[in-house]
Amino acid sequence: MRIITGIYKGRHFDIPRTFKARPTTDFAKENIFNVVNGYLNWEDTIALDLFAGTGSISLELLSRGCRQVVSVEKDRDHARFISQCMEKIGAENNILIKGDVLRFLKSCHQQFDFIFADPPYAMPELPTIPDLIFQYGLLKDDGLLVFEHGKHNDFSSHPRFVEHRSYGSVNFTLFR
């Protein structure tokens, strides 16, 4: 796993072979961040990374200069790995929440400029996650939600839908 751009550009982190998480491919990550660059000024951004997995997106957000990144990851080993990566780069503006994303959504009272959610594609609740984010008011009015999902999900009729991007087998839907 590598950081694509920003102050930590080129840094590599070896993901343990035992991990179940699949990091977003460099190709997909680079392309979706190019799209998101048109919506946000990273330096003013407070970001939320849901289902943080390997921490790849959180690290990329910090490298691009986000003011703060909150990462939520349920798996104990993955959370430990994310914490170690943050230590290696000396990130002080990352908050790691070790817990279930659905519980976090219900209890969080903070709003974010940018939310990235990459749930397991087979998760039964996957189609409800964008609605939960809006229901609990986690995205600021001018904020952006990037939702990664499989090819079988279509959110184009969602009232907050902005656009859909596909990079190979990786699909992103953007909401505002």
Starting at the earlier edge strand, list the strands of the sheet with 68-73: 94-98, 68-73, 46-50, 112-117, 139-149, 170-175, 161-167
DSSP 172: E
Task: Please give the Cα distance from 88 to 91 (Å, whole number).
Answer: 8
CA distance linking residue 135 with residue 129, whole number of Å: 10
Walk along the chain (176 residues) and give the pLDDT tens digit of each residue: 999 999 999 999 999 988 877 778 889 999 999 999 999 999 989 999 999 999 999 999 999 999 999 999 999 999 999 999 999 999 989 999 999 999 999 999 999 999 999 999 999 999 999 999 999 999 999 999 999 999 999 999 999 999 999 998 899 999 99
DSSP letter string, 81-138: HHHHHHHHHT--SEEEEES-HHHHHHH----EEEEEE---TT-TTGGGHHHHHHHTT-
R_g of the chain, CA atoms, integer Å = 15
Residue 129 CA to residue 142 CA, distance in Å, equals: 19
Q: Establish how many alpha carbons lie within 13 A of residue 88's alpha carbon, considering only the half-sphere containing its beta carbon.
A: 15
Name the token pair of 6: 């920003």
Angle at 168 between CA 128 and CA 174, to 5 degrees: 40
pTM score: 0.96
